[in-house]
Structure 1
Amino acid sequence: MRKRDILAALAVGLGLWQALVWITGAPHFILPSPLRVANALIHSREVIADNALVTLQEIIAGLILGTLLGVATAIQLTLSKTAERLMLPILVFTQAVPVFALAPVLTLWFGYGMASKIVMTVLIIYFPVTSAFHDGLTRVDRGLLDQAKIMGARPLQTLLRIQVPHALPSLGTGLRLAAVYAPIGAVIGEWVGASKGLGYLMLLANGRAKIDLMFASLIVLACLTVLLHTAIGVLSRQLVAYSEGRRLR
Structure 2
Amino acid sequence: MQLLVKERLTEYPSLHTLPESAFRKRIQHASPGLVPVLSDTFADERRVMVTQSQPTRTEQATSAGVTERARPGMAQRLGGFLEKAWRPFALLAALFVAWWGVTAAEWVEPYLVPSPGDTFEAIASRPEYFWEHTWTTTYETLLGFVIAAVIGVFAAVVMVQSATVERTLYPLLLFAQVIPKIAIAPLFVVWLGFGIGPKIVVAVLMAFFPVVISMVTGLKSVDPEMLQLSATMGAKPGQTFWKIRFPASLPHLFSGLKVAATMAVTGAVVGEFVGADAGLGFVILQANGNLDTPVLFAGLLIMSLLGVLLFVLVEWLEQLVLPWHASRRTDGVTTTL
Q: TM-score normalised to the size of structure 1?
A: 0.90
Q: Is the 8 A contact 2:177 2:206 kept in 1?
A: no
- CA distance in structure 2 between the partners assigned to 1:6 and 1:163 by the alignment: 34
Q: 2:310 aligns with which of 225, 228, 234?
A: 228
The answer as to whether partners of 2:181 and 2:270 remain within 8 angstroms in 1 is no
2:110 is matched with which residue? 28
Quote the residue 2:223 is aligned against: 141
Which whole-Å deviations, capped at 9, do the CAs of 1:140-178 have from their partners, x for residues lacking one? 111222233333333222111110000000001001111
Corresponding position: 1:54 with 2:118:
no
- In structure 1, which of residues 98, 101, 114 is the aligned counterpart of residue 183 of structure 2? 101
* Superposed displacement of residue 44, structure 1: 1.3
TM-aligned CA deviation for residue 47 of structure 1: 0.3
Q: 2:167 & 2:86 partners in 1: Cα distance?
A: 50
Figure out how many residues of one structure are paired with residues of the other and give that number: 248
Q: Which deviates further from its counterpart, 174-183 or 87-96?
A: 87-96
Q: Which runs of 4+ in 1 moved over 6 A?
A: none
Secondary structure of the equivalent of 1:95?
Answer: helix
Aligned alpha-carbon RMSD (Å):
2.3
Equivalent position to 2:164, from 59, 82, 90: 82
Alignment of 1:55-74 (within 5 A): 55-74=137-156
Please give the alpha-carbon distance, in whole angstroms, between the structure 2 residues aligned to 1:80 and 1:185.
30
Distance in 2 (CA, whole Å) between partners of 1:6 and 1:149 is 46
* Counterpart check, 1:113 vs 2:195: yes
Give the Å deviation of 1:206: 1.8
The reply to whether residue 43 of structure 1 matches residue 142 of structure 2 is no
Q: Return the letter of the residue paired with 1:43.
A: S
- 1:175 correspondence with 2:257: yes
In 2, the alpha carbon distance for the partners of 1:137 and 1:4 equals 34
- Which of the two has higher C-alpha Rg? 2
Kept in 2, the 8 Å contact 1:176–1:229? The answer is: yes
What stretches of structure 2 of length at least 5 have no aligned partner? 1-80, 329-334
In the alignment, which residue of structure 2 is the partner of 1:130? 212
Instruction: Please list every run of 5 or more consecutive structure 1 residues that lacks an aligned counterpart in the other structure.
Output: none
Q: Does residue 219 in structure 1 map to residue 305 in structure 2?
A: no
Measure, in 1, the Cα distance between the counterparts of 2:226 and 2:109.
65
- Indicate the residue corresponding to 1:185 in structure 2: 267
* Aligned CA distance change for structure 1 residues 165 and 7 (closer, same or farther; 3 Å): closer
Deviation, 1:243, is 5.6
